[in-house]
């Protein structure tokens, strides 16, 4: 999809939806760097948190946030750099930080509308925006999605990029509708997935590119030089949140796929190698040989497991059972 150069436009009023994570920060930073009038940041209310009301007179003080919950059985999460955190950006720029539960709540809708946004911009928000929110901004709601839509729709596209063994990833800016990642396309850019890259590094690259594209898309919509293109639903693919079965490395994978899956996600997901009824917990992927062979399905040399794949051999250091 062709890109457009960012035009010099009057600052747009923006309400920004995101979460405290590495993907939400850079697009917001790009909007601020472009001089837009970001009027509020909206984050989802965590399960079990006290109800938050948002009358306009009380909207500007930041609501307290809670640390993200860890997935049971997952390895420790790596904290994103502080500059990528929405809370820090809000503090640095004196922006309201609103934690919301139901986006259909009358008080929430009234608060959002009171900011008179030209656009709502979204990057990694865990709730679908209802029609009542989609209708608020005059230019629409723009989402930054880390895949080349209509491929890889869903809540965790980066996981599925590695699970599928994709050699190319990408980021898309699209207008939101009431579906999941199904709205018209504005801009997108492909990004290669090199051997050994981590999900954290790829996420940072996609977030940075997404921020630049988001600023360009806003300029194009404001000046009328960018026109939305409907997605080709015949080419669409969609994936759910990953399950335990999706975390397995098996001999049916190619050695390159197994290596890159482990490199990409080992720090974030409880990945398991499964072969001939045995399971191994990888500690560090070592290498792969696309032309390599093994007489047996697997071999253990100390704590180094060699796995015969289809094709090639993948090696990883694994945890040894006591």
Going edge to edge, which strands form the sheet with 313-318?
Answer: 282-289, 313-318, 304-308, 298-301
What confidence category does residue 7 fall into, taking pLDDT thresholds of 50, 70 and 90? Answer: low
Q: Supply the pLDDT for residue 1.
A: 58
pLDDT band at 62 (very low <50, low <70, confident <90, very high): very low
Mean pLDDT across the chain, nearest whole number?
88
Residue that finishes a domain, picked among 187, 203, 235: 235
pLDDT tens-digit map of 207-224 = 999 999 999 999 999 999
- Work out the average pLDDT over 194-202: 97
- Domain-embedded: residue 4: no
Residue 196 sits in the same domain as residue 254: no
Cα–Cα distance measured from residue 83 to residue 257, given in angstroms and rounded to the nearest whole number: 32
Most confident of 1-10, 73-82, 121-130: 121-130
Whether the bond into 311 is cis, omega within 30 of 0: yes
pLDDT bracket for residue 39 (50, 70, 90): very high
Give per-residue burial for 306-317: e unless 16+ CB within 10 Å, then b.
Answer: bbbbeebbbbbe
- Say if residue 251 is in the same domain as residue 151: no
Q: How far, in Å, CA of 280 to CA of 219, rounded? A: 51
Q: Which two tokens stand for residue 78?
A: 């790596």
Contact criterion met (CB below 8 Å) for 33 and 216: no
Residue 35: is its pLDDT beyond 90?
yes
Comparing 18-27, 56-65, 150-159, 271-280, the range with the smallest average pLDDT is 56-65
* Whether the bond into 135 is cis, omega within 30 of 0: no
Read off the DSSP letter of residue 172: E
Each residue of 109-149: pLDDT tens digit?
999 999 999 999 999 998 999 999 999 999 999 999 999 99
Q: Which domain holds residue 35?
A: 13-235
Work out how many domains the chain is built from and give that number. Answer: 2
Residue 1, domain member (yes or no)? no
| pLDDT greater than 80 at residue 226 | yes
Identify the residue whose tokens are 């509020």: 40
Beta strand ranges found along the chain (DSSP E): 13-18, 37-44, 97-100, 119-123, 141-145, 168-175, 185-192, 248-249, 272-275, 278-280, 282-289, 298-301, 304-308, 313-318
Q: Which residue has the tokens 């909007």?
A: 31
What torsion do the CA atoms of 200, 81, 73, 127 make, to the nearest 10 degrees?
A: -80
Domain-terminating residue out of 216, 235, 254: 235
CATH for 167: 3.40.50.170
The answer to whether residues 104 and 226 belong to one domain is yes
Please check whether residues 162 and 82 belong to one and the same domain: yes
Rounded to 10 degrees, what is the CA torsion of 84, 89, 91, 96? -120
3 domain residue, yes or no: no
Residue-wise pLDDT tens digits, 265-289: 999 889 999 999 999 999 999 999 9
């Amino acid at each position: 999809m062709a890109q457009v150069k960012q035009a010099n436009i009057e600052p747009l009023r923006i309400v920004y939806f995101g979460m405290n994570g590495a993907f939400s920060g850079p697009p917001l930073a790009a909007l601020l760097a472009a001089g837009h009038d970001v009027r509020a940041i909206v984050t989802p209310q965590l399960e079990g948190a006290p109800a938050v009301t948002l009358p306009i007179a009380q909207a500007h003080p930041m609501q307290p946030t809670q640390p993200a919950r860890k997935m049971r059985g997952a390895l420790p999460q790596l904290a994103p750099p502080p500059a990528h955190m929405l809370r820090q950006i809000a503090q640095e720029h004196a922006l309201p930080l609103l934690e919301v539960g139901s986006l259909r709540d009358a008080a929430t809708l009234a608060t959002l509308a009171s900011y008179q946004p030209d656009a709502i911009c979204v990057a990694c928000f865990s709730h679908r925006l209802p029609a009542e929110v989609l209708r608020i901004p005059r230019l629409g709601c723009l989402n930054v999605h880390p895949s080349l839509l209509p491929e890889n729709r869903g809540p965790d596209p980066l996981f599925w990029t590695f699970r599928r063994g994709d050699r190319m990833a990408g980021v898309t800016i699209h207008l939101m509708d009431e579906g999941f990642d199904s709205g018209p396309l504005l801009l997108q850019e492909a990004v290669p997935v090199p051997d050994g890259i981590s999900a954290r590094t790829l996420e940072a690259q996609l977030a940075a590119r997404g921020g630049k594209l988001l600023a360009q898309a806003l300029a194009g919509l404001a000046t009328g030089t960018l026109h939305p293109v409907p997605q080709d639903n015949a080419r669409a693919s969609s994936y759910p949140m990953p399950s335990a079965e999706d975390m397995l490395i098996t001999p049916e994978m190619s050695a390159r796929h197994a290596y890159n899956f482990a490199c990409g996600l080992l720090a974030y997901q409880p990945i398991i190698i499964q072969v001939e009824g045995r399971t191994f917990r990888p500690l560090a992927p070592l290498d792969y040989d696309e032309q390599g062979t093994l007489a047996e399905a697997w071999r253990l040399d100390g704590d180094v497991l060699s796995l015969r794949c289809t094709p090639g051999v993948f090696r990883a250091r694994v945890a040894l059972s006591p």
